Amino acid sequence: MPLSQELITKAQNILQEWSNEATAEMQRLLNERLKKNQYESALSQSINFEGTDATAEGAVATWSLDDYYIFVDLGVKGVNNKSKTYTSDDYPAGFQFKNLGTPPQMIDAMKNYISRKGIPLQDLQGNKMTIEQKAFQMSKAVKSKGTDGTRFYSDVFNDKGFKRLTDKLERSIGGEFEVKIIAQLKE
């Protein structure tokens, strides 16, 4: 039996509400786990819930995030394996730096970070450094130690979170619902 337009609209509204909550929770977890103020994290600011669309065949909620979110979520093991990392169904082996080589993109990103944060251009002994030297030093340290995973995404988009959505739908509409997640990365 096809769903009425009223039920489709109701389901879309519930999905919209749940999606807004999921977006806020991702931002909260990311900032909390990165120990940042609410609007300080660039990744947190990049989380964009683009809205929902519902038809009799199904409903879609769409988010866009900076493409490196998965590395922040799961973490990346360092060459010396000092980081706390996680795996997922999509990435069962997780992520790991293979060597201490620092590509130009990493150096450029680190220079940008140094400038934005006002990090002093000196080494641990207080000796002056150029921004290139400091970026290289920091890049080597990241690749050696790795980056800890935050699970800001995985702790929201999981069975528990989807159960909350299906429970809301079932209570509101009065029927059983199946939530099927299709993750699609934009090229």
Query: Are the beta carbons of 30 and 72 closer than 8 angstroms?
Result: yes
| Mean pLDDT in order along the chain per 10 residues (187 residues) | 75 91 92 69 85 81 87 93 85 91 92 88 90 94 92 91 86 71 54
Return the HEC string of 51-105.
EEEEECCEEEEEEECCCCHHHHHHCEECCCCCCCCCCCCCCCCCCECCCCCCCHH
pLDDT at res. 137: 93
What CA–CA distance (Å, rounded) separates 184 from 187? 9
Which whole-number Å values give the CA distances from 38 to 41, 58, 69, 171, 172, in the listed order?
Answer: 7, 34, 17, 33, 32
pLDDT at res. 96: 93
Q: Which two tokens stand for residue 160?
A: 């528990």
Model pTM score:
0.80
> Helix 131-145 and helix 104-117: axis angle, to 10°?
110
pLDDT at res. 187: 43
